[in-house]
Amino acid sequence: MNRICRKFSSCLVVAVAMLVPAALPATASEGVVPPSDGDLAAAVRVAGQPGAIGLAKSNFRQVDRIEPRQITVSDRGVPVYTLNPDFVRGTAGAPAGVLKAVAVTATADSGQKATVQAMPEGQGTWVAAGAFSGNDEETLSARLRPGSVLLNEPQINGWYDLGRNDVVLLQASLPQSPVGKSAPLSEYQKAVHGRYADKMPGSDYQRNQGIGFAQADGQPVDSGLPVAIVAGLIAGGAAVLALAVFVVWRKRRLTPR
């Protein structure tokens, strides 16, 4: 499957392996495990190998329609964490994020940038898993507070500064909170639980191949409107959301391994 995809393409169903209510501990961020210096260096080396450079070159061809003569790979890797299902469940001591990959920027001689994603594959082994257009990870990491890590909520293509006790939204294609606003981890956990708790494998959402996010309040409300009008509003809302997801899908693309 050599078609262009994007980070967000698998987020709506694949990343929702979640969730039952529980209390979130105050120390939820303490378990975030950074890669060792050796692992980080190994990931960066993988991103500079011919196979990884080939992924970046393919991405430049497909997305930017260019044929770079030379590609320069950064010697700096950005650890990227993804939303932890156990955190959403409220598992005691679970960190908000788990390490997903190390992002390394590749720059074409014409100036366009792509991001090579090096992912762990067994103990001490890293593999170039794909190349994304742009360098969001590198750009957003420059905005992190000291001691924070970069957290991705893939369902909304959201990027957060994950600190010890809070998260700050940096960027999102479908923002669920104001950009730049700090939210305590306990509040963030309740929010993601409300967004994804009903989308676990085997749920009606998955069986119906649902799209979008259910309201946190699942109780029916008597709107006083005729059924036909309500149905029309729901259909219109679904169309708008589908359009938003399509726009998100188009914004950033991936060249798979």
C-beta of residue 254 within 8 angstroms of C-beta of residue 6: yes
Six token digits for residue 178: 């104001």
Residue 125 gets which letter from DSSP?
-
Q: In a 3-state reduction of DSSP, which class is residue 207?
A: helix
pLDDT (tens, 9 = 90+) of the chain, 257 residues, equals 333 334 433 333 334 333 333 333 334 445 798 999 999 999 999 999 999 999 999 999 999 999 999 999 999 999 999 999 889 888 898 999 999 999 999 999 999 999 999 999 988 899 999 999 999 999 999 999 999 999 999 989 999 999 999 999 999 999 999 999 999 999 999 999 999 877 756 667 777 766 543 433 333 333 333 433 333 433 444 444 444 444 444 456 677 77
Residue-level pLDDT at 198: 74
Residue-level pLDDT at 18: 36
C-beta of residue 77 within 8 angstroms of C-beta of residue 44: yes
Compute the distance between CA of residue 5 and CA of residue 159 in angstroms, rounded to an integer: 19
196-204 contacts: CB < 8 A, separation 24 or more? Answer: 196/16, 196/18, 196/19, 196/88, 196/155, 197/18, 197/19, 197/20, 197/21, 197/88, 199/13, 199/16, 199/18, 200/16, 200/17, 200/18, 200/19, 201/17
